[in-house]
Amino acid sequence: MASSSNLLYEEQLQCSICLDVFTDPVSTPCGHNFCMICLKEFWDTSSHYQCPMCTADFPKRPELRVNTFISELSAQFKISVQVKSSSTADQPLYLKPKGVLCDTCTKEKLEALRSCLDCGVSFCITHLMPHKTTAKLKKHKLIDPVENLEDYICQKHERPLELFCTDDQMCVCQFCILGDHKNHNTVPMEEESQEKKNHLVETQKHVQKMIQNRQEKIEELKQSIELNKVSQN
């Protein structure tokens, strides 16, 4: 619903029952907040009154009143999301920021196609040609264009970080494995990167499964609430 910069803000304005931004937020005596309709439905199907979040029991059904402060925050958040979504959709293509720029271009900076770890420079398609045709430059390590090239170069040996030390969990260069990382287990950066990506994909699948299971439980809860309503009528 919102960008990553608004993630924490959205979670603070999220009802733990419907998992959406508050609508007519109300507060329980124990201090937790819910949508008014969500909390009413929850209590309507319960034999006693307790907080859905911390399960604190209340001797009688609390009187619910809309928390105006949280309600205003929720309304402002929804408006900001709508405005941001609208402005992003309407933004012309020519206004979209470019990626990494070529360091060699002297006039108009063109977008870089590759970054060279040996040269410490990013090149557009035109200025990259010598690395494709010159025998010596062909041996240079080229990667996808990045702005922080210094992070990909060993600060001790000023060589490209081409290997990953699995013992110390850090990137190293060819000279590192002759010194401090001698006899350590190392793998090519590309291999480690692919393994990390595979692990990330599996983690994302697991998280999506957890979300799906939670949504199914919410649907079951809603169906149970509806069945209880029918049985009481």
In this prediction, residue 201 carries a pLDDT of 79
List of long-range contacts for 81-88, beta carbons under 8 Å, 24+ apart:
81/1, 81/2, 81/6, 84/3
Looking up tokens 């480690």, which residue turns up?
Answer: 192
In this prediction, residue 14 carries a pLDDT of 81
CA 145 from chain center: how many Å?
A: 22
Distance between CA atoms of 214 and 211, rounded to whole angstroms? 5
Q: How confident is the model at residue 169 (pLDDT cuts 50, 70, 90)?
A: confident
- pLDDT tens digits along 21-78: 888 888 888 888 888 888 888 888 777 888 888 888 888 888 888 887 777 777 777 7
Q: What is the DSSP letter of 25?
A: E
In this prediction, residue 84 carries a pLDDT of 54
- pLDDT tens digits along 211-232: 888 888 888 888 877 777 777 6
Sequence spans of domains, the chain? 10-80, 100-147, 155-224
In this prediction, residue 29 carries a pLDDT of 87
The CATH architecture of the domain made up of 155-224 is 2-Layer Sandwich (3.30)
The CATH architecture of the domain made up of 10-80 is 2-Layer Sandwich (3.30)
- pLDDT tens digits along 95-117: 444 578 999 998 888 888 889 98
Lowest mean pLDDT among 25-29, 40-44, 89-93, 174-178: 89-93
- Calculate the CA dihedral of residues 69, 71, 76, 80 and round it to 10 degrees: 140
The whole-model pTM stands at 0.40
